[in-house]
Amino acid sequence: MQLNETHQASLRSWVASANAPGADFPIQNLPLAVFRPPGGQGFRLGAAIGDSIVDLAHPNVAALLEPHIGQACRSPTLNELMALGPQAWSLLRLMLSRALRAASPQQERLQSALIDQHGVQYGLPASIGDFTDFYTSIHHATAVGRLLRPDQPLLPNYKWIPIAYHGRASSVRVSGHAVRRPSGQIRLSGVETPVVEPTRKLDYEVELGAFIGVGNPPEQPIPIEQAWNHVFGVVLLNDWSARDIQAWEYQPLGPFLSKSFATTISPWVVTSEALLPFRTACSRPAADPQPLPYLHDAQDRSSGALDIVLEASILTSAMRADDQPEARLSRSSSSHAYWTIAQMVAHHTVNGCNLVAGDLIGTGTQSGPTAAEAGSLIELTAGGKQPLTLPNGEQRSFLEDGDEVCLRGYCERDGFVRIGLGKAAGRILPALVGVSSA
């Protein structure tokens, strides 16, 4: 993948809302999603342009596409398009860019394929076969490790291996779905026998999710220098966490019920090609161990990180009732990650594990080096010991019922147009009645 005409900062669209300063979806972005129009009977693929969606299944759009790409765009999920590979993805992006540019001869043809984003229903972008969540922020790993293991916050393998656990694909939901407070086995302080009750320490995690496009055959690892050719694009990801359930269950095999109840992702997949201008050098202290050969690539080291600004905000029930705006909890950048997406893909497959189109890879919580850049409440509140005070005077150690957490992300760089990732939001519902030790 290389920078091309679709990235030019001078491009403007005949869709006026795409030209607004600070818009998430200018013509330089063109992310893809699965949506259903108001009153529509089925999900279909769409590309975002400003406040509108280009219906990729519309006959006027299909007439502009190569037949194999047009066929994939008539699918109700992105999996078939993902499996076509980078050349097809780039051709689709180029066609959309040219057709949506100001003074394009295709304007009249495509206007009939535009749908207002307001009121549409989003579905999962792909049928997700597997979900793997990594742990790529050394700042998050150290902060949480210090709370759980004060004597050894960062385990020795962290700087050698991109740590991950196998998540639960069936509980991944698209932005807007509510999150039910989970119950599980918890060992309370000073009590020998654990109890089963709703979590008291519900948390969010600010992450990115990378969707796999082209997979790899079993037993054939993906070399790190080819890894980005297998990555279709990126979404925002919130891996909701029950910290008290996690603290009791995570040793010796890692998270289970504390994570598997819900994961929220944004509906719009920002393609790898759209993100090219915002790639940056990886940051790793010179004194740290250098990656083993299968995790090292000079190009990945110089431009394998993504500089995506990530923000988390909260809207409580009281704030909502008083018509107050949401309050920002944190802001950081994914450029602080210790491991790159290419390294995650290479490590995931080094043992011969085969990935398939639609597999989802989470980055883990993306925290930065300062306290204000912490991507979870467990960090922001020192494990709940130092509650946050919100603008309306409410305090939070962990999330309460009715709280809505919203993640947003965007990329900015001199010489290029800002692009956004949209949002991933979810509101907390009370635990189901009757779930307890009894």
Residue positions annotated with a catalytic role:
140
Q: Are 90 and 5 in contact (CB under 8 A)?
A: no
Q: What is the DSSP string of 256-283?
A: STTTTT-EEE-S-BEETTTTGGGEE---
Nearest residue to 57 (alpha-carbon basis) of 102, 112, 128 = 112
Distances (CA, A) of 228 to 54, 68, 233, 346, 422: 26, 22, 9, 10, 22
Query: Which of helix, strand or coil describes residue 433?
Result: coil
Residues 124, 156: Cα–Cα separation, whole Å: 37
Burial 3-16 (b: 16+ CB within 10 A, else e): eeebbeeebbbbbe
Rg over alpha carbons for the chain, rounded to the nearest Å, is 22
Beta bridge partners of 238: 206, 264
Residues 426, 429: Cα–Cα separation, whole Å: 10
Phi, psi of 46 (to 5 degrees): -145, 155
Residues 226, 413: Cα–Cα separation, whole Å: 25
> Which token pair is 328?
């920002």
Beta bridge partners of 35: 44, 122
Going through 243-381 in order, the beta strands assigned E by DSSP cover 263-265, 270-271, 279-280, 305-306, 309-315, 327-333, 360-362
Q: Quick one: DSSP state of residue 193?
A: S
> Which token pair is 117?
């984003």
Q: Is the dihedral of CA 52, 61, 44, 24 positive or negative?
A: negative
Nearest residue to 131 (alpha-carbon basis) of 413, 393, 363 = 363
Residues 362, 373: Cα–Cα separation, whole Å: 18
Q: Which residue has the tokens 């535009």?
A: 114
User: Which residues have CB under 8 Å from 92's CB, separation 6+?
Assistant: 65, 69, 73, 81
Nearest residue to 206 (alpha-carbon basis) of 311, 292, 304, 298 = 311
